Amino acid sequence: MSKVLIRGATLCYPHLGSERAVDLLFVPGQVLGMDPKPSQVRGAEEVDGRGRWLIPGLVDLAARLREPGATHKADIRSEVTAALLGGITHLVLPPDTRPAVDSTAVVELILRRAREGRGATVHAIGALTRDLGEEALAEMGALRAAGCIAVGNIGRPLGNSNLLRRALQYAASLDLPVHLQAIDPWIGAGGVAHEGRVAALQGLPGIPETTETLALARDLMLVEEAGVRAHFARLSCARSVALIADARRRGLRVSADVAMPNLFLNEHDVLPFRADAHLLPPLRTSADRDALRAALADGTIDAVCSDHQPHDPDAKLRPFPATEPGASGVDSFLGLGLKLVQEGVLSRSAWLERAALAPRRILGLPLPTLEAGALPDFVLVDPRAEYTLDAATMMSRGKNTPFRGWRLPGRVDLAVIADRLWIR
Q: What is the pLDDT of residues 269-279, one digit of tens each?
A: 999 999 999 99
CA distances from 243 to 103, 120, 199, 386 (A): 33, 33, 26, 38
CA distances from 5 to 27, 39, 69 (A): 9, 13, 41
pLDDT of 19 higher than 90: no
Spatial CA neighbour of 289 closest among 309, 321, 260: 260
Q: What is the dihedral of CA 367, 386, 421, 64, to 10 degrees?
A: 70
Domain 4-54+371-386+406-423 class? mainly beta
Spatial CA neighbour of 155 closest among 26, 250, 65: 65
pTM for the model:
0.97
Cβ(203)–Cβ(233) below 8 Å = no
pLDDT of 299 higher than 90: yes
Cβ(262)–Cβ(284) below 8 Å = yes
The residues, ordered by sequence, that sit 6+ positions from 203 with a Cβ below 8 Å of its Cβ are: none
The residues, ordered by sequence, that sit 6+ positions from 222 with a Cβ below 8 Å of its Cβ are: 161, 164, 165, 168
Helical pair 104-117 and 76-85, crossing angle rounded to 10 deg: 50
pLDDT digits (tens, 9 = 90+) for 412-423: 999 999 999 999
Which secondary-structure segment (H or E) carries 77? helix 76-85
* 8-state DSSP, 13: B
Q: Where are the domains of the chain?
A: 4-54+371-386+406-423, 57-363
pLDDT digits (tens, 9 = 90+) for 176-191: 999 999 999 999 999 9
* 8-state DSSP, 327: B
* 8-state DSSP, 368: P
Cβ(395)–Cβ(325) below 8 Å = no
CA angle 411-363-4, nearest 5°? Answer: 40
The residues, ordered by sequence, that sit 6+ positions from 216 with a Cβ below 8 Å of its Cβ are: 182, 232, 240, 243, 244
Spatial CA neighbour of 92 closest among 270, 101, 238, 2: 101
Spatial CA neighbour of 402 closest among 238, 259, 244, 196: 259
| Active site residue ranges | 307
CB atoms within 10 A of CB 298: 11
Over residues 90-119, mean pLDDT: 97
- List the CATH code of the domain at 57-363: 3.20.20.140
CB atoms within 10 A of CB 75: 18
Tell me the average pLDDT of the chain.
97
CB atoms within 10 A of CB 186: 9
pLDDT digits (tens, 9 = 90+) for 23-76: 999 999 999 999 999 989 999 999 999 999 999 999 999 999 999 999 999 999
Q: What is the pLDDT of residue 215?
A: 98
Q: What is the pLDDT of residue 16?
A: 87
Burial code (b: 16+ CB inside 10 Å, e: under 16) for 236-257 equals bbbbbbebbeebeeeebebbbb
Over residues 385-399, mean pLDDT: 97
Over residues 280-306, mean pLDDT: 98
pLDDT digits (tens, 9 = 90+) for 319-354: 999 999 999 999 999 999 999 999 999 999 999 999
Q: What is the pLDDT of residue 17?
A: 83
Cβ(152)–Cβ(123) below 8 Å = no
- How many Å apart are CA 411 and CA 218, to the nearest integer? 42
Spatial CA neighbour of 248 closest among 299, 291, 211: 299
- How many Å apart are CA 221 and CA 202, to the nearest integer? 37
Q: What is the pLDDT of residue 2?
A: 86
Q: What is the pLDDT of residue 1?
A: 62
pLDDT digits (tens, 9 = 90+) for 126-164: 999 999 999 999 999 999 999 999 999 999 999 999 999
Burial code (b: 16+ CB inside 10 Å, e: under 16) for 12-35 equals bbbeeeeeeebbbbbbeeebbbbe
CA angle 376-379-381, nearest 5°? Answer: 160
CA angle 207-183-322, nearest 5°? Answer: 50
Over residues 218-246, mean pLDDT: 98
